[in-house]
Amino acid sequence: MTDSPEGTPAAENAAPHAVSRRRLFGAVGAGAVLAGAGAVIGRVTADENSGTDHADVVAFRGEHQAGITTPAQDRMHFVAFDVTTKSRDELITLLQTWTAMAERMTAGQEATEDGATGDGPYAPPSDTGEALDLAPSQLTLTIGFGPSLFDDRFGLADKKPAALLDLPHFRADNLDPNRSGGDIAIQACANDPQVAVHAIRNLARVAFGTASVKWSQLGFGRTSSTSTTQATPRNLFGFKDGTANIKAEDPNALAQHVWVDPTDDQAWMAGGSFLVARRIRMLIEQWDRAVLKEQEAVIGRSKRSGAPLGAKDEFDELDLDSKMGHDFVIPEDSHVRLASAEELGGIQILRRGYNFTDGSDGFGHLDAGLFFVAYCRNPVEQFVPMQQNLSRHDALNEYIQHVGSAVFACPGGLADGKDWSSQLFT
């Protein structure tokens, strides 16, 4: 928590000190490139007093983009941009600038070489400075391109993945256009929210004149585990969420359900994935009035342990056949049954959502819910049939409402020397 090396006056401030972005620079180096983006490449420090004991750096480059199978960080800031320029070159330049900044920031450095104060008194600082003293906090920045980017503005129509279609209308959707869509998305995840917000803000800043913020969402707590090394968190309905998720430690499941194969679709999407975002308002007042038995029947799992109904332990398999009298133990309209691979001919997705709360709704209630984010190899074949099944039959529908929706094609990870324009524009 100091921007100066030990021994300087700030050290008098009695707080345990994290390694600063500047000191880190020496330790990790701008050019440090490691195999396999998403791997944690160095526990730098733990600051006992800052709430960020995750000082790790997640590799920016690798076969896949980080932020997908990276063990879900605690906080998220997500932004969707409209591209406002009509110039293909300006868009390419922006993607290149963003890449350089993203690589620096994920390594715990300031957004630019000049930084918050290094470019002299008569220039606007090229980093906004609010993350100056903070650890890297496992920041990942993941980019995706929306269907609208592939219209006739930038000559990308031929590059449009077949699977990148605006999502169809699902039953009971109540979408706000101001929280939906977008030409480009950037997902920032980090264990310190200020690090995630700082990253998005600096990327938005340099986009001025080329792209502008269409919508953004802060997720205050992860509501999925994406790795067997993580405990399962709870969503705002009080249930464990992420138990039956695809985990980073299951390469077969990832290859089958998450990563785009070069033969699938557009070649530029090799090693990439499709991101589906749904802002789901949770009607927590209705939910809170439901009795425990109803809540557990709606989800299909026990509230405290997270075990499937009829089973004992959180990680026991769903037994979809078992009956109690005439009724299935895991009810026919329960969420986990309807979303399960068994029910959906083997379909699975990687969930990576966050709890949100955005003030109140004007009717005496909190505006809170799940910012659902999922990755899959083909949204048309995976997310759409799954959500169709849920939107038609899920008992949960009485307690939720989908209010935002977007889909983005996220290219594979970057090799050395490549940037976020390389895959799409060549």
Residue 49 binding a copy of itself, by CB under 8 A? yes
Residue 217-236 contact track with a copy of itself, rule CB under 8 A, x = bound: xx-xx------xxxxxxxxx
Of 33, 34, 113, 238, the one binding a copy of itself by CB under 8 A: 238
Which one of 55-63, 166-174, 204-212, 328-336 is the stretch in contact with a copy of itself (CB under 8 A)? 204-212
Q: Quick one: what does residue 46 bind among ligand HEM, a copy of itself, none, with the CB cut-off 5 to 8 Å set by partner type?
A: a copy of itself
Q: Quote the Cα angle for 167-355-314, to 5°.
A: 95
193, burial (CB in 10 Å: exposed 0-12, middle 13-18, buried 19+): buried
Taking CB under 8 A as the criterion, the residue among 39, 40, 290, 403 binding a copy of itself is 290
Kindly state whether residue 77 participates in binding ligand HEM, applying the rule CB under 6 A.
Answer: no
Q: What distance lies between CA 114 and its chain's CA centroid?
A: 29
Residue 97 touches a copy of itself, criterion: CB under 8 A? no
Alpha-carbon gap, residue 238 to 214, rounded angstroms: 31
Binding to ligand HEM, residues 389-408 (CB under 6 A) = 390, 400
- Cβ closer to a copy of itself: 128 or 391? 128
Residue 384 touching ligand HEM (CB under 6 A): no
User: Which one of the spans 3-11, 77-85, 383-391, 414-422 is the region binding ligand HEM (CB under 6 A)?
Assistant: 383-391
Residue count, binding to a copy of itself (CB under 8 A): 105
**For residues 124-163, which are near a copy of itself according to CB under 8 A?**
124-125, 127-133
Site for a copy of itself in 174-193 (CB under 8 A): 178-179, 191-193
Q: Which of the listed partners (ligand HEM, a copy of itself, none) does 245 bind, with a CB threshold of 5 to 8 Å by partner kind?
A: ligand HEM
| Residue whose CB is less far from ligand HEM, 37 or 197 | 197
CB of 62 to ligand HEM, least distance (A): 26
- Residue 14 binding target from a copy of itself, ligand HEM, none, CB below 5 to 8 Å by type: a copy of itself
239 touching ligand HEM, by CB under 6 A: yes
The correct pick among 29, 168, 177, 212 for binding a copy of itself (CB under 8 A) is 212
